[in-house]
Amino acid sequence: MVGIQEVSDLLNIVFPNTNVNSVEYLDWEYNHNPEGNAIGFNAYLDNCLAAHYVTQPIKASINGVETRGLLSLNTATHPDHRGKKLFTILAEMTYEYAAKEGYSFVIGVANQNSIRGFVKHLGFDLIKPLDVKIGLGIHEEFQNYTYSFFRVWDRKSINWRLSNPIKKYRVKKKNESTYILAQTGKWGINAIIGVFDNIQSEEINFVNKGLTSNVYIWMGVNDRITWKKSAYISFPNRLKPSPLNLIFKDLTNSGLVLNSETIKFQCIDFDAF
C-alpha cells in the first residue's frame, strides 16, 4: 500500500479534485483485477515519485481468437519533471516487458492532450474518436452481430468491475439484452456503460443501487447500432470536456490493425464510469 499511496499523491497533484485518485480506488484497480495485477513502471528522483505509467491486463476477442492484452490506464508526470520524456520512457519499458510476458496488444482511450504522444512517439494507431450519444430511454442493441474486436468478460472480471468502490450501478434487462447503468455525476443523467446478451448476463451478480432516470448517455465505438431508430442524438461537441479517441498498439510485430467498423468498445471496457 506504500506504493499505492505514492501514486495517489502524484495523481492528486497532476489531476486534483477527482475521487479516482484515492488509495482505495487505486488498490481496487491495480491489485484486485482477476485478469492480473497492473503492469507499469515508475520514475524516481531522490526517492520522490517523478512519473508513473500503468496498464491493466484484459482479455479480448480479436478476429475470433481470445487474446491477452493491456488497457492503457494512468499516466502522470510531476510538474517539476516535465519535458524529460519520462512518459515515453516508462511506456516503452512497459510494452517491452508486456510483450515478453505474452501480451499481444495495448488498447486505450486518449484525450486531446495525450493523443499525439501515443500516436507519434509510441506507435499507436488512432482507430477513431469515441461516439457520444444522449437520449431518452434504453436504446435497442441487437446481439447477433460478429465483431472483429470486443473485450471478453467472465463472471469474475465483470463482478470485479462492478465492485468499483466509488460508483453505483444498476442492471436492467430489455428484450434480448442486459444493460449496465452507472452514475454520471450529473443530476438526472445516467450512463449506459455496457450491453450484453441475456445469456452472458448470467455471469453478473445483479446490483441495483437506486439509480432512476430516463435520460442516458452512451459512449463508445459500435457502428452496428442503428441510432436512427432510437430517441438519441449525438452529444454536442461544444459540451464535451475533451474528445476521446480509441487507440491501439500491436505488441506482436505481426501488423495487426483493427477495423473501426467492426469493433465493439463500450464504457465498461475502460474506466470512464
Where exactly are the structural domains of the chain? 2-129+244-269, 131-239
- The three three-digit cell numbers of residue 271, written as one number: 474506466
- Range with lowest mean pLDDT among 94-98, 172-176, 177-181, 193-197: 172-176
Query: Which of 263, 254, 249 minimizes the C-alpha distance to 96?
Result: 249
Kindly report, residue by residue over 36-48, the tens digit of the pLDDT.
Answer: 999 999 999 998 9
The mean predicted confidence, pLDDT, of the chain is: 90
At residue 139, the pLDDT reads 86
Give 201 or 82, the one with higher predicted confidence: 82
> CB-hemisphere CA count at 13 Å for 224?
18
- pTM listed for this prediction: 0.93
Matching CATH number, 2-129+244-269, of 3.90.1150.10, 3.40.630.30, 3.40.50.261, 3.30.1180.20: 3.40.630.30
Integer angstrom CA distances of residue 6 from 20, 47, 82, 192: 14, 11, 18, 33
**CA-closest candidate to residue 232, choices 138, 154, 142:** 138
Average pLDDT over residues 239-260: 89
